[in-house]
Amino acid sequence: MAISSELPRHNVHFEPDNIKIQVDPGANLMETAVAAGVHINASCGGAGVCGTCNILVKSGRVESIRTDKISQKDYNRGIRQACQTRIFSDLNVEIPVGSRLEKAVLSREVEEVSAQKPVALVSGWSFNPPVKKVFLELPKPTMEDNVSDLSRLLRSIKQQCKLENISVNAEILTGLARILRTNNWQLTATILLEANSSCRVINIEPGDTRKGHYSLVFDIGTTAVRGQLLDLNRGKVISHCIDYNRQISYGEDVISRIAWSQKTGGLKRLQKAVTATLNDLIKGLINSADIEVQSISHMVVAANTVMTQLLIGLDPKYLRLSPYVPTISNVPLLKAKSIGINTEEHVHLYIVPSVASYVGGDIVAGILGTGIHQSDKITLYIDIGTNGEIVIGNSDVMLTTSCSAGPTFEGGGIKHGIIATSGAIEGFEINPSDFEPVITTIDSAKAKGICGSGLINIAARLLESGIITQNGKINTDFPTKRIRESEDGYEYILCKKIETQIDKDIVITEIDLDNLMRSKAAMYAGYKTLAKNIGINLTDIERVIIAGTFGNNIDIKNAITIGLLPDLPRDRFFFIGNGSLLGSRLISFSTDLLYHGETIANKMTNIELSENTEFMSDYMAALFLPHTNMDEFPSVTIKKGKKS
Ligand code: FES
């Protein structure tokens, strides 16, 4: 970031968060925001082409090129693209509503998760964490019993814990003699259980520290990172946290992150961004639970394959090049500190294994948590995000795939699409008497855009009422003044300028509908391809488990109406919230489950869709609302429009 370390540094003040940071002259404003933990939308990862990172320079000197993403009028009043701006004096910067990623909405998610009853469907495990703390009172050495301190320690562990094949981390030796002699030969050993009934002493502490024994679990998503602090004595979640993944300022999706990683120093920067996110969250978890960092004993992370590789600093380039091979699927146990995570030296990080380039440990953890690998019931497991990850199977067979649903469900590719943040339209109804829309927004704030679940609700209601047709066109014969023609074709006005935060009408366009159809068609064709490969029909599916935050907010009926979900009886659908955290939590609680992840990952067969002709024909058939074959959607009734 530095141009010259001899020049005085500049103070940058971000509003409205009131965050301050010092930088060297010439620092890039977007990178400064990342370093300060200020979240700015950056869909294109700083390429300068998306125009989502606009900020207002209220005072100070910057250098920036004006692109066509900023009007001359806005430029004159101080609007700049953060990614294209360099800092040359102390600065006051405001992040306008449209560019802000608000943490408050993420916090709301944490509250909702905390209130949820944990759903653990996997069976056959007992509470037996893979890391234990054991209090030992060693007999003092005598002339008759003068074995070494280490042998004395291992002998006690063997006797007390009935453990064999015990190894030790070399670091514990440094303090061993002193701890024993200054604490009356009493200490607490932290023991990591490993495969093949062996174990390793990873830490020793003076006296009895068994009370403080915690684990951290994280789901590293492309957009947000969610974490929990677990009490390993009581098997309880004691605090939750969530924040945007700081990598978001290097691009919204995994493709732009991969592209960023190829720049000089890019991989290192992305790795630092995610570890900085984790470190902030760890600090928050520890503070809110009022515990010491020394009492963290273990850590589990589940993530998609790109996030996993970036976390451990592996070049993700080949994940997006045919034949789409990850560098590693089963990451060996790592010391968390070795990759920049602020924990004590002894904390080992278990990363849930992945299946393929686009089917990661987050899905494996979800399968583990829901016990699909143990059940006879044919289950469809769906995690909808930028990539729709799908699994169909049971204890006999599991097929998985990842289909590029595009960013639609996260607000991308939609004229007024936004992520599920304050002011996002999520509820939508049509008043049957005057056909006027009735909208509800997140936090009941003034409307700012449309989030993914809102988009589904809007499309379903417009379809049912005949305002749009089954081929995703706006029915211009419909008796409403809300339909108008624009340069992008016809559009429907959801919310008038005066009712919005963005000083313009919020609309849904035919292009938006087209993008939605492509996304939902990709998902539906994905289910069908997997079902056919297993030799079943979609109607044979006995359970549909929907994971993820977005999944939690989906209205099942509306999702079926537009053809995003298969038309099955509603009692077959289940929401599990964050499947990735569910599985990671259970792995932290039970040695029995620790290696289920590997078994599941090895058992799953990945079907690559990019060159699958059957998928392509199912995809084409699904490019209709809900589908070209209405026999597949018997419960959906819609009014026919002029253009269908
Ligand atoms: S234009 Fe700045 S992130 Fe896209």
Using the predicted structure, report yes or no on whether residue 120 has a pLDDT greater than 80: no
| pLDDT tens-place string over residues 252-303 | 788 889 999 999 999 999 999 999 999 999 999 999 999 999 999 999 999 9
User: Among 31, 83, 253, 263, which is best to mutate for testing ligand 1, by the most ligand atoms less than 8 A from CB?
Assistant: 83
Q: Measured from the CB, is residue 545 less than 6 Å from ligand 1?
A: no
* pLDDT score of 640: 60
**Is residue 488 pLDDT above 70, yes or no?**
yes
Interior angle at CA 291, CA 286 and CA 293, nearest 5: 65
CB-ligand 1 contact for 55 (6 Å cutoff): no
How does pLDDT run across 317-364, given as a tens digit for each residue? 999 898 889 999 999 999 999 999 999 999 999 999 999 888 899 999
The dihedral built from the CA positions of residue 307, 313, 314 and 318, taken in this order, carries a sign that is positive
| Residue 260 identity (one-letter amino acid) | W
Residue 450 has pLDDT above 70, yes or no: yes
The owner of tokens 């945007």 is 244
Give 265's contacts (C-beta < 8 A, 6+ positions apart). Answer: none
- Does residue 116 surpass a pLDDT of 50? no
Q: How far apart are CA 160 and CA 605, in angstroms?
A: 43
Give Dmax (Cα) for the chain: 101
Distance of CA 5 to the CA centre of its chain: 37
Question: Which of 38, 74, 81 has most ligand 1 atoms within 8 Å of its beta carbon, as the pocket-test mutant?
Answer: 81
In b/e form, how buried is each residue of 564-575, taking b as 16+ CB within 10 angstroms?
Answer: bbbbbeeebbeb
Q: Calculate the average pLDDT of the chain.
A: 89
Please give the average per-residue pLDDT across 151-157, as a whole number. Answer: 95
Q: Name 193's bridge partners.
A: 199
Q: Which of 84-98, 297-311, 425-439 has the highest mean pLDDT?
A: 297-311
The verdict on the CB of residue 42 being under 6 Å from ligand 1 is yes
Question: What pLDDT sits at residue 195?
Answer: 67
- Tens digit of pLDDT for each residue in 621-633? 999 999 999 999 9
92 C-alpha to ligand 1 centroid (Å) = 20
- Interval 564-600: pLDDT, tens: 999 999 989 988 888 999 999 999 999 888 878 889 9
Whether 70 is in the pocket of ligand 1, judged by its Cβ within 6 Å, is: no
φ/ψ (deg, to 5) at 599: -60, -45
Structure tokens at 341: 């995570």
pLDDT, tens digit, 9 for 90 and up, residues 206-218: 999 999 999 999 9
**Does 52 contact ligand 1 (Cβ within 6 A)?**
yes
pLDDT band at 99 (very low <50, low <70, confident <90, very high): confident
Judge whether residue 638 has pLDDT over 80: no
For atom 1 of ligand 1, the residue with the nearest CA is: 48
CA distances from 210 to 162, 201, 214, 247, 285 (A): 18, 15, 10, 37, 19
Mean per-residue pLDDT for 370-391? 89
The minimum-distance atom of ligand 1 relative to the CA of 249 is 3
Four-residue CA torsion sign, 561, 563, 565, 567: positive
> Do 448 and 415 touch, CB atoms closer than 8 A?
no
Which residue did the predictor score with more confidence, 104 or 352? 352
Does the beta carbon of 562 lie inside 6 Å of ligand 1? no
Asked whether the beta carbons of 53 and 41 are under 8 A apart, the reply is yes
Query: CA angle 355-224-238, nearest 5°?
Result: 95
Whether the CB of 33 sits within 6 Å of ligand 1: no
